[in-house]
Structure 1
Amino acid sequence: MSPNPRIVVTRALPGQVLVPLERLGEVWVSPHERSLSPGELREAVRGADAVIATVNDRIDEHVLRAAGPQLRVVANVATGYDNLDLRATNAHRVIATNTPGVLVDATADLTMALLLDVTRRVSEGDRLIRSGTPWAWDMSFMLGTGLRDKRLGIVGMGRIGRAVAQRAAAFGMEIVHFSRRGPGTDGPSRWLPLDELLASSDVVSLHCPLTSETRHMVDADALKRMKSSAYLINTARGPVVDEKALVAVLQSGGIAGAGLDVYEDEPAVQPGLAEMDNVVLAPHLGSATTETRTRMAALAVENVEAVLTGHPAPSPILVPSE
């Protein structure tokens, strides 16, 4: 470790999580309450020995070159790492880490919140009352959809997918899933081919990583396979869904509704989505509990501290896929 390593933190982190790093060297924290622009990011990382990044920071060849050869570690405060160019970090011999595992429960809880909200029309009802629109209870007023005996199709059966399956089973749902691992034992769920899952599920919930294979996996053709009474939930990554195709299928009544926490061009939202009452929109809240965000930040700090002091990082080192 250099005598006084420079540690760059691209967004302010909660609590006192940075204290261990302040004992190690010079810690620079971005003063902005927003993501750094690409130019600002390249300038900020110059001379850095470590960078703590968030999901909105694109760490690529340009950033790594700007940092310089002394850079040893990039710690991503996220489970996903599609913002990291792992081929570039590997070529520069920079250790890359993420924060897996710590946001499983928070994201699974939010998935169920979106599912319940859109199927029971909670946000729609909230908007109606706040608007001052006259209303009165009757037998057919704002009917939603119950969950018992409905089929939930989970795309991506990792830790979050399994946590969602456990929660949905408690609501009496039948669980099926598709994952790259193929058929296997996944608790209360059984594996189906993706086309069959889309065609037979009452709710489709996305929990897969963003890769070249999953980008626009839910496109116009995939959406057309879904039931007209089905709902789509996305708490994974926005570009897994072709949002223009989603708007078109919702406008045509091809599916019943959607609950989204992530967006293709975040923070921008595809025109048309915000105008539809059968769409619930959340601003990337999957990990947004005090406990989870604090633990994510602390784990990123632990990864940096370990690498700079010559110890193995608590999180697995990220390597490029073949």
Structure 2
Amino acid sequence: MSKPRILQIGSLSGSPVANAAVEERYDVLALWKSPDQAAFLREQAQDIEIAVTSAVTGISAEIINALPNLKAICSWGVGYDTLDIAAAHARNIQVSNTPEVLDDCVADIAWGLLLACPRQIALGDRFVRANHWENKTASLPLGMRVSGKKLGIVGLGNIGLAIAKRGLGFDMQVAYHNRRKRDDVTYDYFDSLIELAKWSDFLMIATVGGASTRHLINEEVMRALGPQSVLVNIARGSVIDEQALVKVLAEGALGGAALDVFDKEPKVPDALKTMDNVVLLPHIASATVETRKAMLDLMLENIDAFLKTGQVVTPV
């Protein structure tokens, strides 16, 4: 019995397990392996009804429009700012992602970053490895307390809620800024992002990416946070104006930053790499064995559901 044919746009975030699982289950046309992708699409276009991609790789309108029989796009990841949703929906192409299954792991890494920066965990690690502690060749400055402080969250979706819940465990006051106030939570709501920044000791970015939030966290917001506060981003790198971030950190106008995402990944501004009050991670918020398996299972469920019923399970 022949396997269903699908087009895979790119490697699933470099996961051999995920890539192998897809190849075992389906007849995979691997676009990213083709030296001439345009020619590849022209040759295979008529046979493709399902495309698989990831939140990192995405899918462009150009690729969508090159596939006249495309009916479904199944993405591995929760973010969809790299997918041209408008182009897909204009042709009634279904799009799915993998929501909810990665909320806890992303919230965990958000809290790891929130602790690592003000409590100088990464700096302390480098301090010990350089033998400064053992040889008494330098001193480690005091850090900043986290528990009992004010946590502001930009974007109170599923991940934002998981972050907020953890904040309560640290006896923190929690407030948020959204496009609109939620009626199902008791956290304080700020309709002004600037006012939330002024209020916060820690500002956590958990909003969606894309054009609507590009550089939402600009120089004015960062200056409103101030020199005793820390900015944490586990959303999308595009949400922060990185040039402005470098500027305010260099001036001492912002207390610190902890980042898992960057505007032009994997490129990270060199200036950030030199700052002791900055913690940097290579976009690993969902990178656990358990979560990546759950993401894979849900993506496969979406593909199989479409093949059987013509409907994906978790549509965007």
Name structure 1 gaps, 5 residues minimum.
none
**TM superposition shift of 1:19:** 5.5
Change (3 A) 1:272 1:17: closer
Alpha-carbon distance in 1 for matches of 2:18, 2:167: 36
More deviation in 149-158 or 191-200?
191-200
SS in 2 for 1:228: coil
Change (3 A) 1:83 1:247: same
Q: Tell me the amino acid that sits aligned with residue 27 of structure 1.
A: V
Alpha-carbon distance in 2 for matches of 1:126, 1:30: 42
Could you say which residue in structure 1 is the equivalent of 2:50?
50
Change (3 A) 1:108 1:216: same
Alpha-carbon distance in 2 for matches of 1:19, 1:126: 37
Do 2:118 and 2:145's aligned partners in 1 also have CA atoms closer than 8 Å? Answer: yes
**TM superposition shift of 1:172:** 1.3
**TM superposition shift of 1:308:** 2.0
**Residues 168-227 of structure 1: CA deviation (Å, up to 9, x unaligned):** 11111111111112253425x211232211011000000100132311000111111112
**Residues 76-109 of structure 1: CA deviation (Å, up to 9, x unaligned):** 1111100111111112332111111110000000
Alpha-carbon distance in 1 for matches of 2:135, 2:39: 57
Could you say which residue in structure 1 is the equivalent of 2:188?
190
- The higher-RCO structure (CA 8 Å, 6+ apart) is 1
Q: Tell me the amino acid that sits aligned with residue 28 of structure 2.
A: V
For the aligned residues, what is the CA RMSD? 2.5
Alpha-carbon distance in 2 for matches of 1:42, 1:297: 29
Alpha-carbon distance in 1 for matches of 2:144, 2:135: 20
Name structure 2 gaps, 5 residues minimum.
none
Alpha-carbon distance in 1 for matches of 2:93, 2:310: 15
Change (3 A) 1:131 1:141: closer
**TM superposition shift of 1:16:** 7.2
Alpha-carbon distance in 1 for matches of 2:163, 2:41: 39
**Residues 249-294 of structure 1: CA deviation (Å, up to 9, x unaligned):** 0000011101000001111112311110100000001101111011
**TM superposition shift of 1:141:** 4.2
Could you say which residue in structure 2 is the equivalent of 1:241?
240
Provide TM-score, normalisation by structure 1.
Answer: 0.87
Do 1:64 and 1:92's aligned partners in 2 also have CA atoms closer than 8 Å? Answer: no
Do 2:223 and 2:248's aligned partners in 1 also have CA atoms closer than 8 Å? Answer: yes
**TM superposition shift of 1:7:** 1.1
Do 1:77 and 1:98's aligned partners in 2 also have CA atoms closer than 8 Å? Answer: yes
Do 2:124 and 2:140's aligned partners in 1 also have CA atoms closer than 8 Å? Answer: no
Alpha-carbon distance in 2 for matches of 1:242, 1:169: 29
Change (3 A) 1:127 1:16: closer
Change (3 A) 1:131 1:184: same
| 1:176 equivalent in alignment to 2:187 | no
More deviation in 163-172 or 236-245?
163-172
Change (3 A) 1:44 1:283: farther
Q: Tell me the amino acid that sits aligned with residue 118 of structure 2.
A: T
Could you say which residue in structure 2 is the equivalent of 1:26?
27
Could you say which residue in structure 2 is the equivalent of 1:125?
124
**TM superposition shift of 1:136:** 7.1
Do 1:202 and 1:229's aligned partners in 2 also have CA atoms closer than 8 Å? Answer: yes
Identity %: 34
In the comparison of the two structures, how many residue pairs are matched?
306
Could you say which residue in structure 2 is the equivalent of 1:298?
297
